[in-house]
Amino acid sequence: MYNPQPETFIRVTDAGSFNKAAEKLFITPTAVIKQINLLEDGLGVKLFEQTHRGLHLTKAGISLYQDAKYII
């Protein structure tokens, strides 16, 4: 069964925003945010810190990004 959450996570990280990732994935920003929230809930960690300057990966996010890029 295909799980789009890791790919969405990679796209958000590479794009630096939920909106830009949504455009590249051809889905709504709301759908992107829901996928990221489900991924964070499933893993039990916070992957992004959102500031006025944009999104930044947490330490857990950096680790997951490296692993997800390797796997995908």
Residue range 2-30, pLDDT digits in tens: 899 999 999 999 999 999 999 999 999 99
pTM of the model as a whole: 0.91
pLDDT above 70 covers a percentage of the chain that reads 100
Question: Which candidate, 1, 4, 49, 46, places its Cα nearest to that of 25?
Answer: 4
Torsion of CA 11, 14, 19, 25, to 10 degrees: -30
State the chain's mean pLDDT as an integer: 96
Distance CA(66)–CA(42), nearest Å, equals 18
- CATH number belonging to the domain at 5-71, selected among 1.10.3720.10, 1.10.10.10, 3.40.50.300, 3.30.413.10: 1.10.10.10
- Chain length of the chain: 72
Instruction: State which H helix or E strand residue 37 sits in.
Output: helix 29-43
